Structure 1
Amino acid sequence: MIKTVFSIDLPVLENMHILKNRIEPLNLTGNEKRVCIVTGIHGDELEGQYICYEIIRRINASIQHLHGIIDIYPSLNPLGMDSLTRGIPAFDLDLNRCFPGDKDGDMSENAAAKIVEDILGSYLCIDLHSSNISLREVPQVRMIEENASMLLPYAKLLNLDFVWVHPSATVQNATLAHALNTNGVPTIAVEMGTGMRITRQFGDQITEGIFCLLKEIGMWGGEVITPKTPIISSEGQREVTMVHADVSGIFLPAVEHWKGIKKGDVIGDIVNTLTGNIEQHIIAPCDGMVFTLREYPVVNSGSLIVRILGGDFYD
């Protein structure tokens, strides 16, 4: 059942609609749990599109196994998706810095308020993101320390590679996840893949995890896999090290995503395509696992090259 969450008229006889697909079990009792799956807050993050499609397809094919209500919001920023821009076009505004919103505010604040209002009261929300066009991320969840006790049991069911628990000060207060978590809806922010791409391997991995979670909370009666046990990094445990470029040029990686490296290994080279010179050998500063890897080869001084999860993962 397609429902309108927010609608507004735009210039030149156009309009914007934020829609959701509500999937209900065959026999409603009135006591069903409701889970919300949202994506498309950023118009250049497309990994969640495949997951929305797969969840709807699989549930419709076995609707008899559904024992709760699933609300799927595939595009919270339809103008951004239509124009392949991260934020709301023309305003250069990041929708994920507008929550919880204001019904009496401008278009973005009004939309944010209606989104939050529509999701409030649900049992759980899964907020699907991609990385940007420059970086590739393994499927992971990021959360703040104060929410870890509430969210970790759910995150461990999502078939993830990695859970990164941040200090509270590192998270923006105006995100959808923060607005919902502070208003009583446990919300898990999942990140994977690369901007403007769909990585079906990652999409399938998270889709399987969502069905594992639904099974655990009594909303799905079909068969599910045994989810992966994610590596969990929190303050004082495994350290996350970031490596940046010192020079500009073209980055040629020498390591693989989600593979172990040793301190002193060559991560890659930054080369000058005019002179044929190697401008910088990028050396691993520690042992660990590469969970973020530069995807877009053009770099400037200061560009992020890798994030490394510290520890002995070498095989």
Structure 2
Amino acid sequence: MIENIVEIKLAADEVLTIKRNSLCSVNPETEKRVAIVTGIHGDELEGQYICYELVKRITANMQHLKGRVDIYPAINPLGIESACREIPTSALDMNRVFSAPDPASISEKVAAAVVADIKGASVCVDIHASNIFIREIPQVRILPRDSDYLMRYAKMLNTDLVWVHESGAVGGGSLAEALINEGVPTLAVEMGVGGRISVLYCEQVLHGIFNLMNNLGVWAEPEHGISHPMISSDGEVHVVHASDAGVFIPHVEHNMWLSKGSEIGEIVTPITGTVVQKITAPESGVIFSLREYPIVSEGSTIARMLSMGSM
């Protein structure tokens, strides 16, 4: 059942609408409810495919649904429509307004209504993509203080990595922080690259969501072939930066194992035909973030590696 959880009048007789699709079992065997949220950032589109496939697969196999699944595909619909990461009317990051104590602006009122609607869920999965600059392998991001609380759920999501660190995706003002404060275990999933849909990554996370629902008793059909993710912390991650401006040419693939000193790529200057920096792996490990947008400045992030010594 599709319902509007937010309706706010805008200029020129327009209405800002946030929709929820609630899929409920005909013969429920549990009161547990799973919330799937995406579209907080308008340029993160991986979640659109996941929501489409979730609705399609659940409605085609309703006999397996034993609880309730609430799907929120577009928390920032204006951003999605205009291909804008932020809220177009205010240029605010939507994932920084979910904890406003006294909601006053339109974005704060929308955020408060979303939190109130999800409150009481058994678990929430908040689906993000990277920006246009960096491609990420499927990963769950967790604050160190929430690691013990969330790790068992995170391991069910079939991602390649659980990154425990002070991430902005789950930090101050985020949906994850607001829902965790309300007692809802919330997992921020990040994958792919901004403005694109990586179907293989989406399918991987889809299997994980069905596995999570199965473990909660919301979905009866078990998932097979669920992988165990690498577990990381800030101390095990090595970030590789550009020391010069230019064009980054990668020599490796994403999610690839490298030995210490192996070449990741090089930064070149087109007008002179010269290489200004050869970029090498600082330690042996797996590249889980890799530069997607080739133009770099001094200090730009080129890659993140998980040290193999931590595994």
* TM-score computed with the length of structure 2 as normaliser: 0.96
Correspondence for 1:163: 162
Kept in 2: contact 1:39–1:127 (CA 8 A): yes
Does the CA contact (< 8 Å) of 1:291 and 1:308 recur in 2? Answer: yes
- Give the SS at the match of 2:66: coil
Corresponding residue for residue 278 of structure 1? 275
Instruction: Determine if the alignment matches structure 1 residue 267 to structure 2 residue 272.
Output: no
Shift of 1:168: 8.5
Task: Determine helix, strand or coil for the equivalent of 2:159.
Answer: coil
Question: Can you list the C-alpha shifts for 1:100-122, whole angstroms capped at 9, x where unaligned?
Answer: 23564110111110010000011
Q: 2: CA distance between counterparts of 1:104 and 1:266?
A: 50
- Let me know the Cα RMSD of the aligned residues: 1.8
Worse-superposed segment, 100-109 or 147-156: 100-109
Q: Which residue of 2 aligns with 1:296?
A: 293
Answer yes or no: is 1:39 the counterpart of 2:12: no
Q: CA deviation at 1:247?
A: 1.2
Query: CA offset at residue 235 of structure 1?
Result: 5.4
Higher mean C-alpha displacement, 98-107 vs 216-225 = 98-107
Shift of 1:28: 4.3
Which deviates more, 188-197 or 271-280? 271-280
Aligned residue in 1 for 2:15: 15
- The superposition leaves residues 47-93 of structure 1 with CA deviations (integer Å, 9 ceiling, x where unpaired) of 01111011111101100110011000000000000110111013110
Partner Cα distance (1:183, 1:177) in 2: 10
* Distance in 2 separating the partners of 1:170 and 1:67: 31
Between the aligned partners of 1:148 and 1:280, the Cα distance in structure 2 is 38
Question: In 2 relative to 1, CA 178–137 (structure 1 residues): closer, same or farther, beyond 3 Å?
Answer: same
Q: Using a 3 Å threshold, how does the CA distance of structure 1 residues 7 and 101 change in structure 2: closer, same or farther?
A: farther
SS in 1 for 2:59: helix
How much identity, in percent, do the aligned residues show? Answer: 49
| Paired position in structure 2 for 1:144 | 143
Structure 2 distance, partners of 1:85, 1:256, is: 28
* Residues 232-266 of structure 1, C-alpha deviations (whole Å, 9 max, x = no match): 01355xx1010111111111001111111111111
The answer on 1:3 being equivalent to 2:9 is: no
Q: Are the aligned partners of 2:95 and 2:169 in contact in 1 as well (CA < 8 Å)? A: no
Separation in structure 2 between the aligned mates of residue 219 and residue 171 of structure 1, nearest angstrom: 25
Unaligned regions of 5+ residues in structure 1, if any?
none
Q: Deviations over 1:17-48 (max 9, x none)?
A: 0111000001247x521110000000000001
- The CA distance in 1 between the partners of 2:144 and 2:14, in whole Å, is 43
Instruction: Tell me the secondary structure at the aligned position of residue 12 of structure 1.
Output: helix
Deviation digits for residues 130-156 of structure 1 (CA, Å, limit 9, x no counterpart): 000111000000101221112111111
CA distance in 2, matches of 1:124, 1:250: 42
Structure 2 unaligned residues grouped into runs of 5+: none
Contact 2:213/2:219, CA 8 A, preserved across alignment = yes
Segments of 4+ in structure 1 off by > 6 A?
A: none
Provide the C-alpha distance between the structure 2 equivalents of 1:63 and 1:310, rounded to a whole number of angstroms: 43
| Mapping 1:1-315, distance limit 5 Å | 1-28=1-28, 32-101=31-100, 104-166=103-165, 172-234=171-233, 239-311=236-308
Please report how far the alpha carbon of residue 169 of structure 1 lies from its aligned counterpart in structure 2 after TM superposition.
10
Counterpart residue identity of residue 290, structure 1: I
Q: Distance in 1 between matches of 2:167 and 2:93?
A: 21
Letter in 2 for 1:15: V
Q: Does the Cα contact within 8 Å between 2:170 and 2:176 map onto a contact in 1?
A: no
Query: What CA distance in whole angstroms lies between the structure 1 residues aligned with 2:22 and 2:153?
Result: 22
CA distance in 1: counterparts of 2:262 and 2:13, whole angstroms: 58
Aligned length: 311
Amino acid at match of 1:139: P
What is the rounded CA distance, in whole Å, between the counterparts of 1:94 and 1:169 in structure 2? Answer: 11
Q: Check conservation: 1:101, 1:111, Cα contact below 8 A.
A: no
